[in-house]
Structure 1
Amino acid sequence: MYANSSQAAGLEAAFLENRDKLVRFLRARGAGDAAEDLVQDVWLRIAASRPGPVASPLSYLFRTADLLMIDRFRSARQSGARDRDWTDLNLGDPPGVSAEPSAERRVAAAQEAARVLALLDGLGPRVAAIFRRHRIEGAPQKVIAAELGVSLSTVESDLRVAYRALAEWRERPE
């Protein structure tokens, strides 16, 4: 595996004897949960390289671990900056285009909302109230059942009625 097997054995032996120390060292330097992965990377690095004579194998291992952690930190920082730059560039409004809907769209949306509310009201006051409490206000079905004094299956049934009516309404041509 190595040109100088006694040198490799010395470095590998130092690694195996001091693995826990390397993990603690990396955690103390801020690696957190990545410390185990970094120690594995140290092992892969020493297994793949052919270092010359290493006077102090333990120092060599700590320096290798430290450099790998710095590389990983820089890579994560650059990746985060790249993602932020991309997001800033691509999620903003195109030049000359407003994020606000036009007056026509606002009127159309208000009319459509009124039609949906009328549809729900046409299903009965309890169905409409259950739908509003659950889907608009976010109340859990159990809470709604307790508030209205009905069973949970009644709440579920009324929601199915509302969902079915809305699905049919969406399928209808204008």
Structure 2
Amino acid sequence: MTTGPSSAGLEAAFLENREKLTRFLRARGAGDAAEDLVQDVWLKIAASRPGPVASPLSYLFRTADLLMIDRFRSQRQAGARDRDWTEINAGDPPGVSAEPSAERRIAAAQEAAGVLAVLDALGDRAATIFRRHRIDGVAQKTIAADLGISLSTVESDLRVAYRALAEWRDRAR
């Protein structure tokens, strides 16, 4: 395949100014897609056979800008299409409830009761530490200060609680 003089001039201008095109696209908001867009510019000029181009660099920048706009529009339309599809298809299928079945509720209640029993068997301090840290999200250092114990004691009680819950889970399976 032979390359005409105008195409060769564009390709040479592209190869000389690849970094400039990448920086231009990043500055225009392309972000991580800038490299992909520069590759698209290359594919576009390699596949097209434009007539003589008076200003190859301007032509390349304009092509890059238009490709970026096309990509942005395409992504925006895809997002809108996905949102519309989700809105239309969201919700429960006809005849099916989002509420868990009675059996699932009972199983969940039994599992919660089992976890509470394991925690209660650890003693008040270990159960309190576990609940405050894992359920309330309180930092271990804060728990230690509030209870007047060392951080290593809090860590030790948490290890005991984790081990007890893991053993309970293994027995329950």
TM interval, short-chain normalised: 0.7 to 0.9
Q: Distance in 1 between matches of 2:104 and 2:39?
A: 57
Q: CA deviation at 1:161?
A: 1.3
Instruction: Establish whether residue 3 from structure 1 lines up as the match of residue 3 from structure 2.
Output: yes
Q: What residue number does 1:54 align with?
A: 52
For residues 84 and 171 of structure 1, do their structure 2 counterparts lie closer, same or farther at Cα, with a shift above 3 Å needed? same
Q: Distance in 1 between matches of 2:103 and 2:15?
A: 72
Q: CA RMSD in A?
A: 3.2
Q: What residue number does 1:131 align with?
A: 130
Q: CA deviation at 1:160?
A: 1.7
Q: CA deviation at 1:52?
A: 3.8
Q: CA deviation at 1:8?
A: 3.2
Q: Distance in 1 between matches of 2:35 and 2:172?
A: 59
Q: Distance in 2 between matches of 1:135 and 1:103?
A: 28
Q: Distance in 2 between matches of 1:173 and 1:19?
A: 62
Question: What TM-score, normalized to structure 1?
Answer: 0.74
Q: Tell me which amino acid in the other structure corresponds to 1:123.
A: L
Matches for 1:103-142 after TM superposition, within 5 Å = 105-106=104-105, 108-142=107-141
For residues 121 and 151 of structure 1, do their structure 2 counterparts lie closer, same or farther at Cα, with a shift above 3 Å needed? same
- Among the aligned pairs, what percent are the same residue? 78
Number of residue pairs the alignment of both structures matches:
172
Q: Distance in 2 between matches of 1:32 and 1:119?
A: 51
Q: Distance in 2 between matches of 1:112 and 1:32?
A: 48
Q: Tell me which amino acid in the other structure corresponds to 2:49.
A: P
Matches for 1:78-117 after TM superposition, within 5 Å = 78-85=77-84, 87-88=86-87, 92-102=91-101, 105-106=104-105, 108-117=107-116
Q: Tell me which amino acid in the other structure corresponds to 1:34.
A: A
For residues 162 and 90 of structure 1, do their structure 2 counterparts lie closer, same or farther at Cα, with a shift above 3 Å needed? farther
- The 8 Å contact of residues 131 and 159 in structure 1, kept in 2 or not, is answered as yes
Q: Distance in 1 between matches of 2:36 and 2:103?
A: 56
Q: What residue number does 2:75 align with?
A: 76
Which residues of structure 1 form unaligned runs of 5+? none
For residues 170 and 33 of structure 1, do their structure 2 counterparts lie closer, same or farther at Cα, with a shift above 3 Å needed? closer
Secondary structure (helix, strand or coil) at the match of 1:10 reads: helix
Secondary structure (helix, strand or coil) at the match of 2:92 reads: coil
Q: Distance in 2 between matches of 1:97 and 1:69?
A: 44
- The 8 Å contact of residues 6 and 53 in structure 2, kept in 1 or not, is answered as no
Secondary structure (helix, strand or coil) at the match of 1:131 reads: helix
- The 8 Å contact of residues 42 and 68 in structure 1, kept in 2 or not, is answered as yes
Q: What residue number does 2:168 align with?
A: 169
Q: Distance in 2 between matches of 1:50 and 1:40?
A: 14
